[in-house]
Amino acid sequence: MKRQEIIKGMEKYLKVKYGVKIEEAKEYEIFNALSLTLLEGIVDDWNKTTDEYSKHKKAYYFSAEYLMGRALGNNLISLGLYDEVKDILEQYNININKIEEIEEDAGLGNGGLGRLAACFMDSAATLDMPLTGYGIRYSNGLFNQKFVDGFQMEEADNWLKYGDPWSVRKDRDTQIVEFSDMKVKAVPYDTPIIGYGTKNINTLRLWKCEAINEFDFNEFNDQKYDKAVKLKNRADDISRVLYPNDSNQEGKLLRLRQQYFLVSASLKDILKKHKEKNGEITKEFSSLHAVQLNDTHPTLAIPEFIRILVDEENVKFEDALEIAKKVFAYTNHTILAEALEKWDVKLIKKLFPRIHAIIVEIDKSLAKELKSKGYTDISDFKIIANRQVRMANLAIYVSSAVNGVAQLHTDILKDTELNNWYKLYPTKFQNKTNGITPRRWLRLCNQELSALITELLGSEAWVKDLSLLEGLKKFENDEKVLKRFMDIKHKKKEQLADYIKENHGIELNPDSLFDIQIKRLHEYKRQLLNAFYILDLYYRVKENPSMDIPPVTFIFGAKAFPGYRRAKAIVKFINEIGRMVNNDASINGKIKVVFVENYRVSYGEKLFPAADLSKQISTAGKEASGTGNMKFMLNGTPTFGTLDGANVEIAQASGEDNNFIFGLKVEEIEALKGKYSTEEFYSKNKDLKKVIDSLIDGTFDDGGSGDFQDLYNSLMKEGDQYFLLADFESFKATEDQVFAAYKDEKKWAQKCFANVCNSGVFSSDRTILQYCEEIWNIKKTPIK
């Protein structure tokens, strides 16, 4: 788009929507008008892309969440208009950063699974690959996090308060989804996914649930006001909140409704378009369509697909099952048994009895196949067992491919967790190490480093081919380049410190070491181990004020699920440590502890570039992959971590000497099982004993909740299943290595620079190409 087109578009939308001129407009009005102007400019290419894709085989990504972040800045980068728009706004004395900040993060995701889905959408569009995303348009997302006296409190995430200019409602494509007790409308909202340096515009289609009849006039007229809108409220609930609390049956039923709503609407949409172009459904359907199930949440797609084919398209069950086996593929995101979904049969029968009947038939088909292959004990394979439906078993059986998301993760699935399935279907199992998009996670969020890389490499080609970063290796001993590189790191630290002061009133020292752990809060991710280390360091500094360590700022960012008591207790414990440490003048500012509120994508864009150290400390064998570790690496941050998930491949790519590896390995943990004694570690290590006892000796106040006692019990009475005590001394020794290394400025700069140089393999462009070639069999389809 040309400069004058952008200005005219903004003037038009400000006039039509708000009745104001640019000079009078508020920041959110500028944001909406600018976004609509850009959207208008890409609609023709978006339509052309959709038309071109319809002529070829397509893939569809089914995901319960898409952690998209803000759209405006990323889209400007992809369109090559960021600097142009920045200049336009400056002529009206408008700061582009303020316009970006006014945009709410889309409330469509929570953790790594959702952020991966967002990166894949970006990569597919950039590579001209015909991939469409399907999800739910949650009106209130997960939640906004607030701290009150150190406790996490949750508030509704009203991310749509200023509207959503980047989505287009498509009433013409509305689908009807049927439960046993109600029918609802699934109304699609399409969001353009703008490829970088291409005219291709892919689509993320999100479904909003609405009642077929939203308002009963007669009930209202009879003054039964709640009853008059009952159906509307029940429908709204289905797409209201991501992962509603399912601690009771009503919550479980709502989650199950959500999952079926997503897959039923999406499949009906795909099948309708197929029939309009190709006529009836035949065995050739799989040569035109591939569906990727992002974890077990969308697994009901399998029986729903078969139901539609059998009940509505007159396809024989056996044929429908064979088609499904070629259409679907399944990504496993977890090794944790509790995260492999199982649904009570009674709940499935209550909401959709026909789906239950289909699952029974699929289970019979599996049993028949196993018996024909000589299996006598099939209990571990069964889809329905102990009055539950095992969604992972269903997904594995009716899929063309099953993939893990890091090499170690895939190896564990094959060797132990899913070994029975691997022996049955060895060719189904693949590895697809996760990746991140360099557009958002470097080109947008670290424009200073991006400019330096472009200058050193002589072009911006690296933004679409991250392997080109290897070309930076010739500068790894260049002191001038290393100084410029570290000056940029310091500038990003200053920017983060300014943001935290402005938003939280907390002052940080940008000359301190920024030691950062940001991710979803879960016991296996071991934020508690990090907290124990910090508390121990504080005690040591108190005893020895002249202790030779650099000033260090420990930064946490994480949300705990509302119903996850222990995760919320860890939040409180870290905040209590922060309160003690930060208010103690005797340590002379050597240590600071900050837990940032409401960690999200846009906050991550400030945190990743500013980090000196990336904490990735999950118990070995528990983290499937991680993608935060890759974002830190791309921005020049060494990893402090266990050999878990993608940490293994990061250490291989950039060298263990450029990272800090600690703790038990997977095989050592396996050897410890059954012999692990927490009492032994506790009684022999006075420093460890002191920090653990702080949970129950009155050092900290949990507000009478008993939460700290429960944390203590998880370690000392329930066996410390995540091996915090066993890894504590290794953690301490390795952090000492960090402090020593940090003092040598040149060597530290070289470690950081080496991580940038070797991060190319972790591009989501590489990952998505592997899916396209090795699972979906789809081809690049650029529009003319």
Active site residues: 333, 519-520, 525, 627, 631
How many CB atoms are located within 10 Å of the residue 729 CB? Answer: 16
Q: What is the per-residue DSSP string for 675-696?
A: T--HHHHHHH-HHHHHHHHTTT
**Residue type at position 283:** K
The DSSP call for residue 416 is: I
The pair of structure tokens assigned to 459 is 């072009």
Q: Minimal CA–CA distance to 766: which of 427, 468, 451?
A: 468
Q: Residue 309 is which amino acid?
A: L
Answer left, alpha or beta for residue 247, where phi above 0 means left and psi between -120 and 50 means alpha: alpha
Report the half-sphere exposure of 28 (CA within 13 A, side-chain side): 10
Residue 351 burial (CB count, 10 A)? 20
Read off φ and ψ for residue 401, nearest 5 degrees.
-150, 145
Give me the amino acid identity at 452: L
8 Å CB contact between 576 and 535: no
Nearest residue to 212 via CA among 188, 193, 186, 244: 186
- Is 229:214 a contact under the CB 8 Å cutoff? yes
H or E, element range at 89: helix 82-90
> With 0-12 CB in 10 A as exposed, 13-18 as middle and 19+ as buried, what is 300?
buried
The whole-angstrom separation of Cα 486 and Cα 494 is 12
Burial of 261 (0-12, 13-18, 19+ CB in 10 A): buried
Q: Where are the alpha helices (DSSP H) in 556-600?
A: 565-582
- Of 331, 407, 286, 403, the C-alpha closest to 777 is 286
Q: Which residues are CB-neighbours of 58 under 8 A, at least 6 positions away?
A: 130, 131, 132, 288, 289, 290, 778
Residue 591 pairs in a beta bridge with 552
Helices (H), 398-437: 407-412, 419-424
Q: How far apart are CA 696 and CA 678, in angstroms?
A: 17
| CB proximity list for 546: less than 8 A, separation 6 or greater | none
Q: In degrees rounded to 5, what are phi and psi of residue 181?
A: -115, 0
CA angle 301, 307, 368 (to 5 degrees): 90
- Whose tokens are 């945190």? That residue is 607
Sign of CA dihedral 8, 14, 17, 19: negative
